[in-house]
Amino acid sequence: MENETKKAVKNTEAEGIKASASPAETPEAVVDKNSPAPKLKIERFSPRQLMELDACTRCGECSNWCPAYDQDQRESLTPRGRATLYKDIIDRQHGMFSADTFLGKLAGKKPVTIAEMDDFAKDLYACSTCMQCHYVCPVAIDTVELWERIRETIVDIGHGPLPDQKALTINTKNYDNPWAQPRSSRGRWAKMAKKKKRIKDVPKDISKKNAEVLYYVGCTASYDNNVEEVAINTTKIFEHADVDFGMLGSKEKCCGSVLLRVGDKVSFDRISTENIQQFNDLGIKTLVTSCAGCLKTIKEDYKKVAKMNFEVKHTLELIVDLIKAGTLKLKKPVNLKVTYHDPCHLGRHAGIFDAPRELLSLIPGIEFIEMERNRENSRCCGAGGGLKSGYPDMQNLISQKRVDDALETGATELVSACPFCYQGLQVGIQAMDAPIKMRDITELVCMALSDDDEEKKPAAEAASEAK
Amino acid sequence: MYANKLYFEATALLYTLSVIMILIVIAGMFASVSLWTKGKKPSLYHAINLPAIIKAFICDVVLQLQILKISFIRWLMHLCIFIGFMGLLAETSVMAFMSHFLSPDNAIVKTFFDYESGGGARILDVWGEVFGLMLLFGLAIAIIRRYIIPAKQLETISKDTVSILFLTAIGLTGFFCEGIRLTYPEYASVASYSFAGNFLAGLLKAMGLELMNYKTWVWVHAAISILFIIYIPFSKAWHIFVSPLEIVIDASERA
């Protein structure tokens, strides 16, 4: 499998892994690179986070697991290297021995230059924020929170994010989605699915008609034609189980994950505050999403912004509840050999490891095989944290490693529970032309639904669908 | 009798150096902590969970089981350095306290400083040997992993090397002092308690180096130890205090 990976990436190897572009390569950055960089806003951190920079023992366990370092063996890419470099920058700008103090000059400290800051920023974004480093760190440093705060300070002084990441944040601010799609077409997938009889009806507009459950679709499943199946299957399952649900349609906004991950905290605070206000006003009991990134953001990050009056669940958690309650019955055998990829934001970030495995065990006929690296040690697909947009070549290579893991199990289906992982892993499958099919877990659930619905369909419709 | 047992002879120089050392250490700690306090965001998002803190302290700080899960040899190395250093620091601190703050006629002082007044002195001898050997054993593994057969994930910067050099020098000079002490005939009857020191004393005698100036070598040992303690808040060794704090905070937050 290693050979296949190597073959598929020969171009990137020849050129080396590069960022989409460096912040310093942008036209506005025509400045003397050796002049002192602006001071970082140290107040963005908590005292604990600044302490964490001292807590690193430099044992290097993180480098054994870091997916980015796995592809590009530069020390500055490791969590250890990042913490060491940033600590040095902070010390030189804000410490007792900072370059502008008498003691600092006595100790020979030099100001941090723009060139140094640029180099640091480029490597800072070569990270998928997968959180593997936290789980293997013997000191349990809360790494991803730390990286995200560091990114905020870098964005403050205009050295981040990388240009392609910046495009996503600008789109999110202008269109409420990173893909620069009009707000009005956010619910288009539902209308099309209804037209094609894939779902019974377009989910009700929850802002007009109350419902217990808000299905928060997320930007990727809403706009990406290749991933809209996730939204369609989720809707189909909810319809099947008679869930009282609705969606926001054109009024749904991005959860802001993309903003937070690359360090645009100001914009994230705005969009998250607006979203929380909107969600709270709906009077829902549960917000459900099929996207691991949205789940992590809404469940874990929003609670640091404001209080929410509803619970947040991933779709698969609700599906397990429905099956246990007897509302949803999975009768049809799905005779597939399946392996499961834990999305970083669902597993390591939100602690949801058991529910997907329980759901797979409830689907009749499935032969489930674990990959060697699973649960807390699941290998990242490389799509998160802005890595896919900032370092597409690196993401491709990381993804192929994960596809390799899946192929080693002998499974024919690679299943996950995140549209972003779906996209990310698909990159690897295509690059390797791997004999494995990428599926979202909702697709398997739909395959196991009883044939009742299908039987009800008029023959002409079924024929048209097949066509 | 035992005129050469001069570890903690209260001299003005030792007091002065100790005060300077403590002041620099406090200044170094203040420099770090004052930098931390420049962070204005909340450190904790949940109420403190005491059971989780206690569990993490025992399992991950004292026993370091999280390292054992990763690698036995790394666990052994770190535990030996950690326990060895802490054991020696505790011994030195207890002896310093007794000799400086208690009367020479105090029963406890007599027990621990006079071989004829109880077993305390023998216990301290064994204590020093065991923890000293642990420290050196751990350091030997560290040196092999870092410089001789480098472990894949290690990346050495000057701070790593300086800390290892300091600790090794402390351990070696400590045993050297003990070896010199045991070359003096008045300690012959109790030399077996300091088994490694006694072995070293034998080597020194064989090389014709017995009865060296013990006091000078104790000062060398003390000076290196003082320099290392001063270095702690500015070095990698600062993690001795900071890492346990992070471990228990994280355990409480995630509980």
From the list A49, A57, A97, which residue is nearest B243 (CB)?
A: A57
Distance of CA A146 to the CA centre of its chain: 17
Torsion of the alpha carbons at A287, A293, A298 and A300, rounded to the nearest 10: 120
Torsion of the alpha carbons at A375, A380, A386 and A392, rounded to the nearest 10: -160
Chain A and chain B share a number of CB contacts under 8 A equal to 109
B152 interfaces chain A, CB cutoff of 8 Å: yes
pLDDT for the residue A3: 42
- Domain spans of chain B, in order of start: 46-254
- Claim to verify: residue A431 and residue A316 sit in the same structural domain: yes
Instruction: Name chain A contacts of B45, Cβ cutoff 8 Å.
Output: 303-304
CA distance A310 to A286: 5
Q: Is A417 exposed, middle or buried (0-12, 13-18, 19+ CB in 10 A)?
A: buried
Residue A52 placed within a domain: yes
- Whether A9 shows a pLDDT value over 60: the answer reads no
From the list A47, A58, A141, which residue is nearest B160 (CB)?
A: A58
- Claim to verify: residue A141 and residue A281 sit in the same structural domain: no
How close does chain A come to B16, measured CA to CA in Å? 24
- Claim to verify: residue A292 and residue A311 sit in the same structural domain: yes
pTM, entire model = 0.87
- Strand partners of residue A312: A287
CB contact under 8 A, A54 and B60: no
Residue A43 placed within a domain: yes
A44 interfaces chain B, CB cutoff of 8 Å: yes
C-alpha closest to that of A172 among A253, A227, A252: A253
The residue written with tokens 């209804």 in the block is A194
A109-129 pLDDT per residue, tens: 999 999 999 999 999 999 999
Contacts of A138 by beta carbon, 8 Å cutoff, 6+ apart: A57, A59, A61, B60, B64, B66, B67, B70
Structure ipTM: 0.88
- Strand partners of residue A137: none
pLDDT for the residue A292: 96
C-alpha closest to that of A413 among A431, A395, A433, A440: A440
Instruction: Name chain A contacts of B246, Cβ cutoff 8 Å.
Output: 48, 51-52, 55, 139-141
Extract the tokens encoding B85. 């250093």
**pLDDT-derived band at A30, boundaries 50, 70, 90:** low
Range of the domain at A315: 171-448
pLDDT in tens, chain B (255 residues): 444 454 556 577 888 888 999 999 999 999 999 999 999 999 999 999 999 999 999 999 999 999 999 999 999 999 999 999 999 999 888 888 887 788 878 888 878 777 777 777 888 889 999 999 999 999 999 999 999 999 988 999 898 999 999 999 999 999 999 999 888 888 877 888 888 888 999 999 888 877 778 888 888 999 999 999 999 999 989 999 999 999 999 999 998
Residue A17 placed within a domain: no
A353 interfaces chain B, CB cutoff of 8 Å: no
* Chain mean pLDDT for chain A: 90
Residue A237 placed within a domain: yes
pLDDT for the residue A22: 52
- Claim to verify: residue A138 and residue A197 sit in the same structural domain: no
A144-170 pLDDT per residue, tens: 999 999 999 999 999 989 999 999 999
C-alpha closest to that of B167 among B109, B238, B84: B84
CB contact under 8 A, B246 and A51: yes
B158 interfaces chain A, CB cutoff of 8 Å: no
CATH number at residue A36: 1.10.1060.10
- Whether A349 shows a pLDDT value over 80: the answer reads yes
CA distance A35 to A113: 5
How close does chain A come to B242, measured CA to CA in Å? 5
B208 interfaces chain A, CB cutoff of 8 Å: no
- Do the Cβ atoms of A391 and A366 come closer than 8 Å? no
Which A residues 302-341 touch B at CB under 8 Å?
Answer: 303-304
Extract the tokens encoding A448. 């196991």
Helix/strand/coil (H, E, C) string of A422-464?
A: HHHHHHHHHHHCCCCEEEEHHHHHHHHECCHHHHHCCHHHHHH
- Claim to verify: residue A389 and residue A259 sit in the same structural domain: yes
Instruction: Name chain B contacts of A139, Cβ cutoff 8 Å.
Output: 239, 243, 246-247
- Claim to verify: residue A341 and residue A211 sit in the same structural domain: yes
A367-393 pLDDT per residue, tens: 999 999 999 999 999 999 999 999 999
pLDDT for the residue B6: 44
Report how many domains make up chain A.
2
Residue A5 placed within a domain: no
Nearest chain A residue (CA) to B237: A57
Helix, strand, coil share (%) of chain A residues, nearest 5: 55, 5, 40
The stretch A63-73 carries a mean pLDDT of 96
